């Protein structure tokens, strides 16, 4: 009996201790789970709140875009400072067009502007940026004839006044009141009435918009080539393997001339050959380039025409040393402001050398350029070596500054 009581007490005590222990653990577990649960709830709550704020912000942002009719566009603020910003979608005033940009092409001029932060004649910041484009008409202002909604067009970057001394003489590229348009790196662009009337062209259905966008630079090349007054059988040297140098090589070879391309970078050698150069000179110094180019002509007499497409004073001087007696030099590449060249007067006079310096284009030449693109003979695709979205524009320019082998990048908004 006493054993039984004693045993019962002991079992009771052990049971109570077990219960206490289990109870203590359970309470600790509950506290722990509770603590974790509370932390998780706080965490989830915080994320949810942040997400709600973000979604709200995006919704407000897009509501504002739609409400105000805004679009994304590249805005040049200064040196190497281009920002993609929300700006209002332009509205067509009488005579104007609003074009949805299909493709805008990078250009050496834009790269210069990006580096310098401005262009004396073409662009003063802050300003919309980019000038080689083709796209589709989304709105035609009052009084516009010949361009309906959805028409595929290439709108040039400028138009002459048609009334000044120079326009009257057919030198519209020198117009006293040349009107420039920028803003191609955007979803939409406004085309001013004068450009609509004089320098906006319909793109044939079989021509991709990004090819049609080459009309502007090609017009410069065609103008520069024709202005050099080539004669049948001439040998033409083109100094420079950038986009315009290569275009000049192609234009001259398509016209049936023997072309010597003088390039600097390895990647340009193959491109010049593909575009029709009979010879490619890649010399480490200007002296050697002159000697090697002359060596490609009978008795080292020099080329009939030398076209400088670099835009450096030393290359201008180089061009003068490459031509034969009676030859023509075209200083086609524009140099930085206030630069000068030193030329041998005796050589120019006693060798009867013609010096020309072709700038820009005229409406008639722009039509010729688009015809050449539409003909299928011009290898438009060879000039567009990359594609990028508008928001990648800064990266694209940085790449172009680092002397990449890219010729032109099509910016697709």
Q: Least Å distance between CB 107 and Zn ion?
A: 3
* Closest CA relative to residue 106, chosen from 129, 72, 73: 129
Cβ contacts of 148 within 8 Å, gap of 6 or more: 137, 140
Judged by CB under 5 A, the chain residues 161 through 200 that form the site for Zn ion are: 161, 164, 167, 175
Q: Output 49 or 168, the one with its CB closest to Zn ion.
A: 168
Q: Least Å distance between CB 181 and Zn ion?
A: 12
Neighbours of 143 (CB within 10 A): 12
Instruction: Measure Cα distances from 201 to 130, 212, 222 in Å.
Output: 18, 10, 17
Q: Output 133 or 306, the one with its CB closest to Zn ion.
A: 133
* Closest CA relative to residue 208, chosen from 387, 87, 338: 387
Q: Least Å distance between CB 178 and Zn ion?
A: 7
Q: Output 84 or 214, the one with its CB closest to Zn ion.
A: 214
Dist CA 128 CA 137 (whole Å): 19
Q: Least Å distance between CB 174 and Zn ion?
A: 8
Instruction: Measure Cα distances from 101 to 73, 150, 184, 412 in Å.
Output: 11, 12, 7, 8
Q: Least Å distance between CB 305 and Zn ion?
A: 23
209 neighbors 153 (Cβ within 8 angstroms): no
Q: Output 89 or 218, the one with its CB closest to Zn ion.
A: 218
Dist CA 250 CA 273 (whole Å): 9
- Per-residue x/- marks for Zn ion, 198-237, CB under 5 A? -------------------x--------------------
Q: Output 166 or 354, the one with its CB closest to Zn ion.
A: 166
Annotate 55-83 with DSSP letters as a single string. Answer: HHHHHHHHHHHHHHTEEEEEEEEETTEEE
Q: Output 73 or 156, the one with its CB closest to Zn ion.
A: 156
Helices 243-254 and 266-274, axial angle in degrees (round to 10): 20
Q: Least Å distance between CB 163 and Zn ion?
A: 6
Judged by CB under 5 A, the chain residues 114 through 133 that form the site for Zn ion are: 132
Q: Least Å distance between CB 61 and Zn ion?
A: 33
Q: Output 166 or 399, the one with its CB closest to Zn ion.
A: 166
* Residue 269 binds to Zn ion (criterion: CB under 5 A): no
Q: Least Å distance between CB 329 and Zn ion?
A: 23
Give the range of 39-47, 116-124, 152-160, 268-276 binding Zn ion by CB under 5 A.
Answer: 152-160
Q: Which of 75, 101, 107, 212 binds Zn ion (CB under 5 A)?
A: 107
Q: Which of 160, 183, 241, 242 binds Zn ion (CB under 5 A)?
A: 160
Q: Output 161 or 412, the one with its CB closest to Zn ion.
A: 161
Dist CA 83 CA 391 (whole Å): 9
* Residue 109 binds to Zn ion (criterion: CB under 5 A): yes
Report how many residues bind Zn ion under the rule CB under 5 A.
Answer: 9
76 neighbors 126 (Cβ within 8 angstroms): yes
Q: Least Å distance between CB 295 and Zn ion?
A: 34
Instruction: Measure Cα distances from 353 to 135, 178, 304 in Å.
Output: 43, 31, 10
ω before 126 within 30° of 0 (cis)?
A: yes
Q: Output 215 or 293, the one with its CB closest to Zn ion.
A: 215
Residues at the interface with Zn ion (CB under 5 A): 107, 109, 132, 160-161, 164, 167, 175, 217
């Amino acid at each position: 009996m006493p054993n039984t009581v004693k045993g019962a007490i002991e079992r009771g005590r052990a049971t109570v201790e077990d219960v206490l222990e289990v109870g203590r653990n359970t309470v600790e577990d509950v506290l722990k789970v509770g603590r974790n649960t509370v932390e998780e709830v706080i965490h989830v709550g915080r994320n949810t709140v942040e997400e709600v704020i973000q979604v709200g912000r995006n919704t407000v942002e897009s509501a504002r875009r739609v409400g105000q009719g805004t679009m994304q566009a590249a805005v040049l603020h200064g040196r190497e400072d281009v920002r993609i910003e929300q700006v209002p979608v332009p509205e067509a005033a009488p005579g104007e067009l609003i074009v949805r940009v299909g493709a805008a092409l990078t250009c050496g001029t834009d790269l210069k502007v990006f580096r310098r932060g401005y262009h004396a004649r073409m662009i003063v910041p802050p300003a919309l940026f980019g000038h080689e484009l083709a796209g589709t008409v989304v709105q035609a202002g009052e009084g516009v004839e010949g361009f309906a909604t959805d028409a595929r067009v290439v709108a040039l970057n400028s138009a002459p006044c048609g009334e000044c001394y120079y326009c009257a003489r057919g030198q519209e590229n020198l117009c006293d009141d040349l009107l420039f348009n920028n803003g191609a790196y955007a979803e939409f662009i406004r085309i001013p009435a004068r450009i609509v009337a004089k320098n906006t062209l319909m793109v044939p259905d079989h021509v991709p918009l990004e090819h049609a966008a080459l009309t502007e630079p090609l017009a410069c090349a065609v103008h520069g080539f024709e202005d050099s007054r080539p004669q049948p059988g001439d040998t033409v040297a083109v100094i420079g393997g950038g986009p315009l140098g290569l275009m000049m090589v192609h234009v001259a070879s398509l016209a049936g001339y023997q072309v010597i391309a003088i390039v600097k970078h390895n990647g340009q050698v193959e491109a010049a050959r593909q575009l029709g150069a009979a010879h490619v000179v890649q010399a480490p110094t200007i002296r050697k380039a002159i000697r090697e180019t002359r060596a490609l002509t009978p008795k080292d007499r020099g080329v009939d025409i030398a076209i400088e497409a670099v835009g450096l004073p030393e290359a201008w001087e180089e061009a003068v040393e490459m031509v034969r007696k009676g030859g023509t030099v075209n200083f086609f590449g524009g140099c930085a402001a206030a630069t000068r060249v030193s030329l041998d007067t005796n050589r120019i006079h006693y060798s009867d050398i013609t010096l020309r310096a072709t700038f820009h284009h005229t409406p008639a030449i722009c039509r010729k350029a688009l015809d050449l693109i539409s003909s299928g003979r011009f290898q438009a695709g060879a000039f567009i070596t990359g594609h990028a979205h508008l928001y990648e524009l800064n990266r694209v320019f940085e790449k172009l500054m680092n002397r990449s082998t890219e010729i032109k990048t099509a910016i697709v908004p």
